[in-house]
A and B are shown apart, each in its own frame.
Chain A
Amino acid sequence: MSRIGSDDWVEQQELRSEYYTGFTGPARKAFDRVGPGPRFFAFLAICAIFPFFPTVADSDFLIRVGVNVLLFALLALGLNIVVGWAGLLDLGYVAFYGFGAYMYAWLSSSQFDVHLPTELVIPIVITASAGLGLLLGLPSWRLVGDYLAITTLFFAQIFVELMLNLDRLTPPWRDEPLDVTGGPNGIPGIDDMRIFTIDFEQTRDYYFLLLAIFAVVVVGLYYINESRTGRGWRASREDPLAAELMTTPVNRLKLLAFAMGAAVAGLTGSVFAAVQTGVFPQNFEVALLIMIYAALILGGAGSISGAVLGAIIIAAVPEILRTPENARYLFYGVLIASLLIVVRPWKRVAGIVAAVIVFGFAVHEIVALIWPDVVVGVEDGGLGGLLDSWVLVVDDHETLVNFAFVFLVAAVLILTQLRGESRMLLLIPTIYLAAFVWENRLVAEPSVTRQLLFGAILVAMMTKRPQGLLGTPRVENPI
């Protein structure tokens, strides 16, 4: 309890709270007791499986998922510098990612007929992105908190608008319009990377390239965080005024955080451009920003392993949602897991599960008796077949399902307010309602489901565990 930057009372308060009681309490307590150092090495040990992933993953699709996970992990790590360590809310982060991708495209495609060698392009991209980061970080000298957030968000908007529109402007020194970005069609046909004698052609090659970058970035960031710079970031995050008084160069550190975050994002962007062999403005919109934030917040801002864990979850889960059968396993698995975590005496979990099953069969039978033409079975085999006579799947009743969705949201909100018996009672129909909405609508629309989940994750994490899964609680004076 003598670590610098942590507050005794806060840590003990965590230990005292009810949070650690219940079924999974001891495991969580043990996890939180492991210090950040050993946790980081455990994390490295887990990361050691990454190189073996392609030997297990047999299909191109799985490799693609692996590439996505690594891209997200790198982005989350870069964002972690700015948001987690320096405590600056940078909502323009995707602009750096996009800028890196477009930079790579301009320097190695037929857009301007420039085909520089990759080993030259990458340093240029990193330097240029860091320079842009410095430039866009300048407002952080004058603006803090929400104002900085909104200004950087405008930068992100401006970036997308520019990329969309810089294809038909006529510069004063030319007669015909100059096509810089390809507008909404983007820049296709980008060269593959070729570093010294190694050609990168297949997705698998890029996987290993990203893995190498990932290793360098993780180790580099670990040491930076432990260094004077890292301490300076955290100090200026907690209290800029006090840090300034202690001669910490707060403004310079802010710019450094922006520049480093931008450099990581730009580098990641250039690999993304090469993997995708094209860049398009819609790749760099706010939705992506929200996903990166969701990854970082879920894992725990300020923690390297947290950022990576969050990225794995955020990038891999949507892929599972793609096929209904897998999505089903995920949904019911998460449902039962969260029951185990939330419901206190674990014997009750069995009771609730039994009650939900009985409730479901009863509802299904009653509806099948009264309106037999409404009920449609679940078609797929496997888990779907098992659910067939339990969950109600209706035909062509969009309004009904819409109302069910609204009721579900309301029920979940009410659930968070109830305590004791009434909570358990409401839980039963709520779970059934969730299954109903899930089977009728969400399974068929993975992209909407994904958005709903990410939004809900952000809110739930902030209200229940603001430090994220692997983060450490922070102390900050409320203003």
Chain B
Amino acid sequence: MDVDFFVQQLVNGLTLGSVYALIALGYSMVYGILKLLNFAHGEVYMFGAFIGYFVLSALGGSASPSIPVAPLLVIMFLAAMLGAGLLGVVIERYAYRPLRNAPRIAPLISAIGVSFFLQASALLLFTAQFRTYDTPQLIPPTKRLDVGPLHISLTRIIVIVSTFALMIGLTLLVSRSRLGKAMRAVSYDREAAAMMGIDPDRVIVATFFIGSALAGAAGVMFGLVFERVFHLMGFTAGLKGFTAAVIGGIGNIPGAMLGGLIIGLAESFSTGYISSTFQNLIVFGILIVILLVRPTGLLGSPVLKKV
């Protein structure tokens, strides 16, 4: 029984951690390349979740989908990723690019403004009511994997597997492709990269698109697992995604994945074993301690100070 409970919490933590890891990747990539904390990232995630919801209802809703479930899920993910990615690009173009050479506090405040604006827009467009994905209708909970005492529902398997697929794809993109090379170059030294013939603006746009698309996918995953989407969901998730990015070492892609899993596990175990009241306190406490003890995160390398 005890082992049972433990393993169930482990699976919950992995699912939640997948969502956080995907959000963290967006933070981490943007931070790595622009040294900018993209506060609006959580809102992009929220819009991704809503796009997934509206695609689902446009295609008949979960009770009577007009197309088979597998392609429906694929379309939901693609639409949410595309929409969120475009939103990210627009945000970058209008709120961050004019501030490329401004004092560092300026883009941060601009980002807070974008986040607030998007939240209010969502409230205006979608109203304050909760929307539900109603996943049990779509993917029956009876479809599950039974390994001894352990039950993993198909939804959770989909989430965990697609997260790992996205992460592997991203890792390959960053380490193998030309774009990835350009991204690493720009994040290392933007000016030098520009002198080598890389257009930093294009690379930054691509980074924003990819990071935001991952957040959009995370939004749909959250909708599938936890079902309820609402206009305020971006704020806390964004904070936790950022926490994950920082714990792993911001700007560091494997670090973001590791951080996401740590936060997800910490949250689900503290809910399971301590109390759900203080789960946020525990997560934020972990972050503050890690930041103070090791400001560059678990996998981050120390920053050399330029004078």
The residues of A with any CB-CB pair to B shorter than 8 Å are 83, 87, 89, 139, 142-143, 145-147, 149-151, 153-155, 157-158, 161-162, 165, 241, 286, 290, 293-294, 297, 402, 405-406, 409, 413, 416, 441, 445, 448, 451-452, 454-459, 462-463, 466, 474, 476, 478-479
Q: How far is the CA of A165 from the CA of B95 in the complex (A)?
A: 37
Question: Which residues of the partner chain A approach B108 to less than 8 Å between Cβ atoms?
Answer: 89, 145-146, 149
Question: Which residues of the partner chain B approach A293 to less than 8 Å between Cβ atoms?
Answer: 109, 112
Known pairs A157-B280, A478-B101; A455 contacts B124 (CB<8 A): no
Residue B288 CB within 8 A of the other chain = yes
B307 A297 Cβ-Cβ under 8 A: no
A297 B109 Cβ-Cβ under 8 A: yes
B288 A451 Cβ-Cβ under 8 A: no
Question: Which residues of the partner chain A approach B113 to less than 8 Å between Cβ atoms?
Answer: 294, 454-459, 462
Question: Which residues of the partner chain A approach B31 to less than 8 Å between Cβ atoms?
Answer: 146
Query: Given contacts A154-B284, A458-B109, could you give 4 more A-B pairs where the C-beta distance is less than 8 Å?
Result: A139-B291, A151-B287, A158-B285, A463-B99
Q: How far is the CA of A474 from the CA of B242 in the complex (A)?
A: 29
Which A-chain residue is minimally distant from B117 (CB atoms)? A455
Q: How far is the CA of A153 from the CA of B115 in the complex (A)?
A: 14
The residue from B121, B281, B285, B306 contacting A452, defined by CB atoms under 8 A apart: B121
Q: How far is the CA of A87 from the CA of B104 in the complex (A)?
A: 10
Q: How far is the CB of A426 from chain B (nearest CB, A)?
A: 16
B37 A165 Cβ-Cβ under 8 A: no
A161 B281 Cβ-Cβ under 8 A: yes
Q: How far is the CA of A154 from the CA of B105 in the complex (A)?
A: 18
Q: Restricting to B256-307, which residues have a CB under 8 Å from any CB of A? A: 277-278, 280-281, 284-285, 287-288, 291-292, 295, 305-307
Which A-chain residue is minimally distant from B37 (CB atoms)? A146
Q: How far is the CA of A216 from the CA of B1 in the complex (A)?
A: 65
Q: How far is the CA of A297 from the CA of B117 in the complex (A)?
A: 16
Q: How far is the CB of B152 from chain A (nearest CB, A)?
A: 31
The residue from B94, B104, B281, B295 contacting A416, defined by CB atoms under 8 A apart: B94
A154 B109 Cβ-Cβ under 8 A: no
Question: Which residues of the partner chain A approach B36 to less than 8 Å between Cβ atoms?
Answer: 146
Q: 11 pairs across A/B with beta carbons < 8 Å?
A: A145-B108, A154-B287, A154-B288, A290-B116, A451-B119, A455-B115, A457-B113, A458-B109, A463-B110, A474-B103, A478-B101
Q: How far is the CB of A473 from chain B (nearest CB, A)?
A: 10
Q: How far is the CB of A151 from chain B (nearest CB, A)?
A: 6
The residues of B with any CB-CB pair to A shorter than 8 Å are 31, 35-37, 90, 93-95, 98-99, 101-110, 112-121, 123-125, 235, 239, 242, 246, 277-278, 280-281, 284-285, 287-288, 291-292, 295, 305-307
Which B-chain residue is minimally distant from A412 (CB atoms)? B94
Q: How far is the CB of A236 from chain B (nearest CB, A)?
A: 14
B246 A147 Cβ-Cβ under 8 A: yes
Question: Which residues of the partner chain A approach B235 to less than 8 Å between Cβ atoms?
Answer: 286
B106 A466 Cβ-Cβ under 8 A: yes
Which B-chain residue is minimally distant from A141 (CB atoms)? B292
Q: How far is the CA of A290 from the CA of B118 in the complex (A)?
A: 14
A413 B94 Cβ-Cβ under 8 A: yes
A448 B112 Cβ-Cβ under 8 A: no
Question: Which residues of the partner chain A approach B124 to less than 8 Å between Cβ atoms?
Answer: 402, 405, 441, 445, 448, 452
Which A-chain residue is minimally distant from B107 (CB atoms)? A462
Question: Which residues of the partner chain B approach A153 to less than 8 Å between Cβ atoms?
Answer: 239
Q: How far is the CA of A476 from the CA of B31 in the complex (A)?
A: 20
A479 B94 Cβ-Cβ under 8 A: no
Question: Which residues of the partner chain A approach B106 to less than 8 Å between Cβ atoms?
Answer: 462, 466
Question: Which residues of the partner chain A approach B109 to less than 8 Å between Cβ atoms?
Answer: 293, 297, 458, 462
Q: How far is the CA of A455 from the CA of B102 in the complex (A)?
A: 19
Question: Which residues of the partner chain A approach B307 to less than 8 Å between Cβ atoms?
Answer: 241
Known pairs A142-B292, A165-B277, A463-B95; A479 contacts B104 (CB<8 A): yes
Question: Which residues of the partner chain A approach B102 to less than 8 Å between Cβ atoms?
Answer: 462, 466, 478
Q: How far is the CA of A409 from the CA of B125 in the complex (A)?
A: 13
Question: Which residues of the partner chain B approach A139 to less than 8 Å between Cβ atoms?
Answer: 288, 291-292
Known pairs A139-B292, A150-B37, A413-B90; A145 contacts B104 (CB<8 A): yes
Question: Which residues of the partner chain B approach A290 to less than 8 Å between Cβ atoms?
Answer: 112, 116
Question: Which residues of the partner chain B approach A462 to less than 8 Å between Cβ atoms?
Answer: 95, 99, 102, 106-107, 109-110, 113
